[in-house]
Chain A
C-alpha cells in the first residue's frame, strides 16, 4: 500500500468526522433557533388562545403572520383537540379556520414531506373540517400508504360512511396492516355497522375476520344475528373472533349459540373464545356448560371456564358443587384457586364452618385437590372456624 493511499484513507476518515461534527452543530443551532422562535410566538399567543377557547375572551388571537407562526398555531390547536369538547372544540375549529389553516392543511396534503402530508390529513379529520371530504377522498389512492391510512382515519372522523367501500379498496391496495384497518372501522362507530355487516357476510376471509372484530368493539346489538350465524363458519379463526364479539355485545341472547359452539368440539382456541365470551355475558344459564369445560385438557380452556364460573359468583359455585362428583381434581383445584384469588374462599370456609353442607363439600374437595391456603391460615387461629379448618386438614392428611 503506497503512502498516498494511506494518506487518502486518513483524510477521508478525518473529512467524514468533520462532516459529522458539522452536521451535529448545524442541527443544534437550527433547532435552537426554531425553539426560540416557537417560544417567543407561544408566549404571545398561548394565553389568548386558552382564554378564547375556554370562553373567557370573545376575540380570537390575531391571525398568525407567516408560515412559521401558522405552523406553531396549528400544532397548538391540534395538541388541544383531545382535551376539548363541545363549545371549546367549536372555538378551536373557529380559530383554525380564521387563521387560514384549513387552506394550509389542504395544500399540505400534497407536501413533499410525508410527515407534513400525514399531519395535514390527521388535522383535517380531528377538526372535523367538512369541506375536506373531497380532498381526503382524492388522496385515498396516494402512493404513500400512511397518507392513505391517515385520509381513511380522517374520513372516518368526518363520518363519511358512503366512502367506506372506497376506503376499504384503498387500504387493501396498500396492504394496510389489519390492526390499522380495524382502527379506521372503529373510528366510524355505529355509522359503519351496515357496511361491516355486509363485509361480514360477503367479504373476503380476512375482511370478514376484521369485520367481526370491529363489530364486537362497536358493540351494536343489531348485529347479534349476523355474528351468531358466523359461529357456524368453517373458518375457526373467524368463528373465534365472532364468539369474542358476541361476548362484547353483552346480550345473553347469544348464550345458546355460544354454548353450541362450545359443544361443537372445534379447536381449543375457538372453545376458549366461546368460554371467555360466556364469562363476559355473565349468564347463569351457561354454568352447566362451563362446568364441563373444567375438565378440558387445555389449561387455557380450563382457566377460561373457571374464570367464567367465578364471575357467576354463587351461581357458578352452585353449579360446580352440583357437578362436583363428575369433575376431576384438576378442574376443582383450578376453580377453587381462582375463587381464592377473587377473595371468596374465606367466606366459603366460614359458611362451611357454620354448617353449610354444600360449602363444606366444596371446601373438603378443594382441600383434597390441593387448595388449602385459607384453611392453613384459619387453622393457625383459635376461632370456631379455626377448629373447623384444622379438622378438614387433619381429615385430608389422614386420607
Chain B
C-alpha cells in the first residue's frame, strides 16, 4: 500500500465521516425541534389571553426590576426607558446603570426624567466598579439611575442588580424593545413554579419593523439581505433550539437581550462575570452548576413567546465581529466549566447540553470547514468522484434548509408574525439561500473566533447601530470590554 493510497483512503474516510456528522447533527436538531414543538404546544395550553389578564390582576404576580446597563446610548436611551416604564405589568421598576458613558447619556436621562441625585443606600451584594451617584426620577418613582465608573456590561448589570428591590430581575439590553405583555409572559414560570431561577424569551429581529416610541407597531421583514439571513437564524436558534432544551431543563443560554432571573439566585452565584465574553451563557451555566452541586430543585425556563425585539447588524464587518465574539464566549464558557462536560453529577446539562454544545456548536464550525476543504481536495486529487461531491454538498445544503424550514413551520403554526404571502416567500427563499455563502461565511467567523480566543482577545468589537427610528446613530458598542 503506497503513501498516496493511504492518503486517499484517509481523505475518503474523512469525507464519509463528515457526511455522517451532518446526518447526526441534522437528526439531533430535528429531535430538538420536535421537543420544541411539544413544549410550544404545552405552553399554549397554559398561556391564553385570559391567563395574562389573570396574571395582571393577580396579587401573586411578583414585582420585577428591569435592569439595564447603558454605555453611550444617548440617542436611544430615553425612548427605550420610556417604553420600559410603560410596560404592561402590575408592579415594576427600572434600574438603569450609566456605565461611564462618554456621551450625553446621563444628561439626557436627567433632562427627560427629571432625575435628582439622592443618597440611596445600595445593597452591597455584588462587587462593582465605584458608584459615582444614584439618581431618582421626580416623575417616575419607579426609575432609579446608577452612575458609575465604566466596567463593562456585566459590571453595569451587577450594579443595577444591587439597586433592584424586587425579588425578580429582568436583564435587558438598553436598545431592546420588549413586547408590552412580554414581562408578564416571562414571569409566569416564576409564579407557577417557585423553583424557577431564570426564564428567557424569544428574541426577534427588529430591522424592518415599524417602531414608534420604543414599541413595535408593525411587524415586517428587514430589507437588508444580511438581516434577513439573521431573521431565519433567530427562528432556528430561539424557537426551535432553546425551547427544546428548556423542555428537559437543559437550557444553557438565556439571552442577554432579555432574561428574567430570581435576584437571590443571581446574587448567590456572584452576578454576571465581568471577565466573561459571553456573560449570558456563562451565568446560566453557573446557575446550573450551583443548583446541581447543592442538589437543589431548580428550573431554567424558556418562554416560547416573541418577547423582545433587537436590532441586528446590517454590515458584514459588524456581523463578523459579533459572531467572532459569540464563538469566543462559547469557547470561554465551555473551558471554564469543562469539568461539567460529560459529568453525570450535572444531569441533563452535563450529559446532554454541554456535550451537544461541544460536539455541534463548537466543533461544528471546524468539521464543516474541514469537510468543504477535504471534498475539494479529494475531488481535485480524484479520490472522490463528482457525484459524491455533489451529493455531499446537496446533503449539507438540504440539511440546513430542512432545519430552517422546520423552525419556520413552528413559527408559522405558533405565532404567524409575518402574515403576508410575500413575507413567507422571502423567508423560504432565504432558508435556501443562506446555505450558499452565508452559512460558510458564518462558519469561517466562528473558526476565526476560536483562534482569536486562543490569542487572548477579549474585546467586544464595535457595532454601528442604524437605530430604530432609521436615524443613523453611531452607537459604539465597545462598552469598554476591551479594557477587561
Contact = CB atoms under 8 A, between A and B. Distances in A.
Interface string A327-353: 000000110111011010100000000
Interface string B261-295: 00000000000000000000000000000000000
B388 A180 contact: no
Nearest to A9: B395
Contact of B398 (A17, A299, A370): A17
Contacts of B192: 177, 179-180
Interface in A1-52: 1, 3, 6-7, 9-10, 13-14, 16-17, 20-21, 23-24, 27-28, 31
Contact of A177 (B124, B193, B388, B395): B193
A82 B50 contact: yes
Contacts of A62: none
Interface string A179-211: 110110010000000000000000000000000
B165 to A, nearest CB: 8
B194 A178 contact: yes
Given A10-B395, A20-B405, A179-B194, A146 B45 contact: yes
Contact of B118 (A28, A79, A114, A340): A340
A303 interface: yes
A183 B16 CA distance: 57
Interface stretch (A115-123, A129-137, A160-168, A278-286): A115-123
A115 B44 contact: yes
Contacts of B119: 333, 336-337, 340-341, 345, 370-374
A179 B60 contact: yes
Contact of A341 (B16, B125, B136, B402): B136
Given A1-B16, A17-B401, A341-B120, A183 B413 contact: no
B84 interface: no
Contacts of A119: 48
B377 interface: no
Contacts, number: 116
B140 interface: no
Nearest to B411: A24
B406 to A, nearest CB: 6
Interface in B102-157: 117-121, 123-125, 136, 138
Contacts of A179: 60, 191-194
A3 B402 contact: no
Contact of A373 (B48, B118, B391, B406): B118
Contacts of A371: 119
Interface string B31-50: 00000000000001110111
A340 B20 CA distance: 67
Contacts of A9: 19, 23, 391, 395
Given A6-B391, A24-B424, A31-B416, A337 B118 contact: yes
Contacts of B19: 1, 9
A118 B50 CA distance: 12
Nearest to B397: A13
A116 to B, nearest CB: 10
A303 B121 contact: yes
Contacts of A104: none
B395 A13 contact: yes
B225 interface: no
Given A9-B19, A115-B45, A340 B58 contact: no
Contacts of A16: 398, 402
Contacts of B260: none
Interface in A293-346: 299-300, 303, 306, 333-334, 336-338, 340-341, 343, 345
Interface string B172-215: 00000000000000000001111000000000000000000000
A1 to B, nearest CB: 5
B387 A338 contact: no
A11 B483 CA distance: 52
B345 interface: no
Interface size on B, as a range, is 35 or more
A341 B137 CA distance: 10
B9 interface: no
A186 B395 contact: no
Nearest to B191: A179
Contacts of A31: 416
A216 B98 CA distance: 39
B470 interface: no
Given A16-B402, A20-B405, A183 B124 contact: no
Contacts of B53: 82
Contacts of B412: 24, 27-28
B399 interface: yes
Nearest to A75: B49
B408 interface: yes
Contact of A338 (B58, B120, B428): B120
B54 interface: yes
B48 A183 contact: no
A183 B56 CA distance: 12
Given A122-B50, A146-B46, A183-B54, A24 B121 contact: no
B394 interface: yes
B58 A186 contact: yes
Given A179-B193, A299-B125, 8 more contacts: A6-B387, A6-B388, A9-B19, A10-B395, A23-B409, A24-B408, A24-B424, A178-B194
11 contacts: A9-B19, A9-B391, A10-B394, A20-B402, A78-B50, A213-B60, A300-B123, A337-B120, A341-B119, A371-B119, A373-B119
Interface of A: 1, 3, 6-7, 9-10, 13-14, 16-17, 20-21, 23-24, 27-28, 31, 78-79, 82, 114-115, 118-119, 122, 126, 146, 177-180, 182-183, 186, 213, 217, 299-300, 303, 306, 333-334, 336-338, 340-341, 343, 345, 370-374
Closest 4 CB pairs of A and B: A13-B398, A20-B405, A371-B119, A179-B191
Interface of B: 16, 19, 23, 26, 44-46, 48-50, 53-54, 58-60, 117-121, 123-125, 136, 138, 191-194, 387-388, 391, 394-395, 398-399, 401-402, 405-406, 408-409, 412-413, 416, 421, 424, 428
